[in-house]
Amino acid sequence: MNTRIFKKIFAAFTLMFVTMLSLASLPGVKQYIPDVSGEYVYYQDSSFKNETVVGFLYFDDSTYAARIYSAANAKTKSTEKDITIYVNVDPSKSGFTLTGEKIDGTVEGNSDLVNYLHDMLYEFAKRRQNEPLDSIENKVVTDTFNQFGGNVKIKYNSLVPIFNIEEISGADGKPVLQIQTCGLLVDSSDTSFTSFKGVNGLPKDKKRVFKKDKRSEEVEVNGGSQKITLDTQWQQSMQNLWLLGDYALLSINEMKLPEGMDIEQALDLLSRRFTQSTTHSYSVWQQAKVTRTENRLSIMNVFFQPESGNVTRDFKIVTRKSDGNFAMLTFTVFDGVYQKSRFYFDTILKSYRVE
């Protein structure tokens, strides 16, 4: 298991709280969780005959991108479609007013797709402007959306960046637009947004051989305030970081609550960040599980890396301690290994305690 993942966790953790204080948002919209430069979202768009995904990317209040991708289909004799438009808007206007545009991809013969992306930017922005959100609780509204057949129900969720739209279902109750992944680009060279080609269901991980060790011992960290039971196969690689060979990693850390932010704000922001993709490692939204209590946040994600074929299962537990600090556990394991030894790994997670 690559320790590169570990470094990303804490770089992102710091970024989360810094960016919470920004005022980034769509024109005419006050975001409960401000958008961060590089955040994006992708949906499966069932209004097309072929498997199609539509994505949106936020650069800043005046710059966005929209992309549509459809794979080639031999049955329908259709070729691959991949078009991205980069648009500038006037943030001082109440509507989504375009001031400039750049298009990547073959426009000839695909002007309908370019127009479709324009329509989605306008329509999603307009609907979001009419629906205030002041928490991460789901909000479902009935609306009319001609592009999706007329009467629809739109499910809003502040964990989803940009338009906060999680799903749009038709009159028959079936999703016509359903979120597949959300992400955050790490820098200008990150091509995760323009490389995404869709992910459905639970991707299958590579085959791996893993044998359990029955011996175990309790590990204390941060002065004994956090404890977990590990067997002797787990080797300490860095301070507060343990590796189970190349199969899994576990880290236990602590962080103060930043000044000017209450615990509810902090946990809401963490809920969004921890369900996001990283560089070419795409979170599978439909597999994620988020559990919240007053002082505790637990998140399980599945991440798919198309280039390597790896699938990882990631657990994060954030707990507010009695001294006001956050205790955080991160546990990442290859999904094929987890599925075959679920009881073993779940037992380790259940042994985690914060005092």
What is the distance between the alpha carbons of residues 326 and 295, in angstroms, rounded to a whole number?
9
Q: CA–CA distance from 20 to each of 77, 107, 163, 196 (Å)?
A: 47, 38, 17, 27
Mode of pairing for the β-strands spanning 310-320 and 326-334: antiparallel
Q: pLDDT tens digit string along 231-270?
A: 989 999 888 899 999 999 999 998 887 777 778 888 888 8
349: CB partners within 8 A, 6+ apart:
315, 317, 331
What is the predicted pLDDT for the residue at 264?
Answer: 82
Q: pLDDT tens digit string along 63-75?
A: 999 999 999 888 8
What is the distance between the alpha carbons of residues 261 and 21, in angstroms, rounded to a whole number?
9
Helix ranges (DSSP H) in the chain: 4-19, 111-129, 192-195, 263-273, 335-340, 342-350
Query: Among candidates 285, 277, 272, which has minimal Cα distance to 306?
Result: 277
What is the band of 14 on the pLDDT scale with cuts at 50, 70, 90? very low
In the predicted model, is pLDDT for residue 294 greater than 60? yes
Determine the average pLDDT of the residues in 113-132: 92
φ/ψ bin of 286: left (φ > 0), alpha (ψ from -120 to 50), beta (otherwise): alpha
What is the predicted pLDDT for the residue at 24?
Answer: 59
- Residues, the chain: 355
What is the distance between the alpha carbons of residues 98 and 160, in angstroms, rounded to a whole number?
23
pTM of the model: 0.91
Query: Among candidates 53, 54, 67, 55, which has minimal Cα distance to 102?
Result: 67
Structure tokens at 147: 């592009």
